[in-house]
Amino acid sequence: MTVIPVIDLAPYSLSVPADHVDSKVLQGIADELCKAFTTVGFVYLKNHGIPQNIVEEVFSTSKTFFEKPVEVKQEYARPVDANHGWVSLEREKLNPERPAADLKEAYNMTVVDDQHLMPVDIIPNFYDVFKSLFTSAQELGNRVLDLMSIGLNIDRSFLRDCHKNVGKKDNQTTLRSLYYPRISKEVKPGQVRCGEHSDYGSITLLFQDDVGGLEVKPVGADYIPATPIPGTVLVNLGDLMQRWTADKLVATKHRVLIPKEEVMLSKGRQSIAFFIHPDDDVIIKCLDGSGKYEEISSIDYLNMRFAVTY
């Protein structure tokens, strides 16, 4: 049975200066990472350097927000023309082929210095808590992009440089807190918590709670559970990166179904995803020079994908 690899990032952890790591050690980690991205599309990173208490604070603060009445949360709703703010239950359908929308809510933070639509008036520490994790995840994301560049045998800073405006207005990288409420009403035919999909951007960093439920589909295999491993970050590849690498690396599908066990139906579930996108004006063209896909800007690709989801 295929398993999701666990990679020890301790030699390149956030606690280690980026330029103090032996190149052979980096090459070894990079090769492991890219191997995982050619088969499973997912990998667990342990000893990554993001303090667990920062993650737990976002879980806790988000839950406080999600438990507010709908009419309160509606004040902070995601506008049609932006990806920042609250996304209501059954607002999204990540698998357009399913007959019903997803049973989940979300809160998106895109620009790290923009407090627009943030519920700081009712949860004063909301912005600071989200910003703290956004900043740490951005730094870890850069390390992962470095390793991918090394594994792809291109200039080490190439991918990092294509994401230099993360946290600014001309980059769509998003910190998304997801909330799957307990199943307390009748589920519609074919409805799930999160429909089968692959992510849209470069890479995603996912922080899970201990409830579980995420399933991923490796290349040529059936869905397998992405069981939460305490203290790890689950990293997966996005569609745009698959296109960029001319399908050398793969963005595999994943989903969250409705639990079958009665005890699990009564449990809510949370996760936090950091969706990393290149800067808006970066032109995505096949890194191997094959021209397998037409060139497209990062922002045009994302808008094309959003048009199908909402």
Q: pLDDT (tens digit, 9 = 90+) per residue, 219-242? A: 989 999 999 999 999 999 999 999
The token pair that represents 201 in the structure block: 């951007």
| DSSP for residue 170 | T
- Alpha-carbon distance values, 177 to 64, 114, 235 (Å): 12, 17, 16
Residue 262 has pLDDT above 60, yes or no: no
Give the Cα separation of 5 and 38 in Å (integer). Answer: 12
Q: Using DSSP, how many helices (H) and how many strands (E) does the chain show?
A: 8, 14
User: pLDDT tier at 143 (50, 70, 90 boundaries)?
Assistant: very high
What pLDDT does residue 309 have? 63
Give the Cα separation of 30 and 148 in Å (integer). Answer: 6
If we measure between CA atoms, which residue out of 295, 307, 14 comes closest to residue 137?
14
Question: pTM surpassing 0.85?
Answer: yes
pLDDT tens for each residue of 20-74: 889 999 999 999 999 999 999 999 999 999 999 999 999 999 999 999 999 999 9
- Alpha-carbon distance values, 198 to 42, 78, 241, 288, 300 (Å): 11, 21, 11, 23, 17
Length of the chain: 310
What pLDDT does residue 166 have? 97
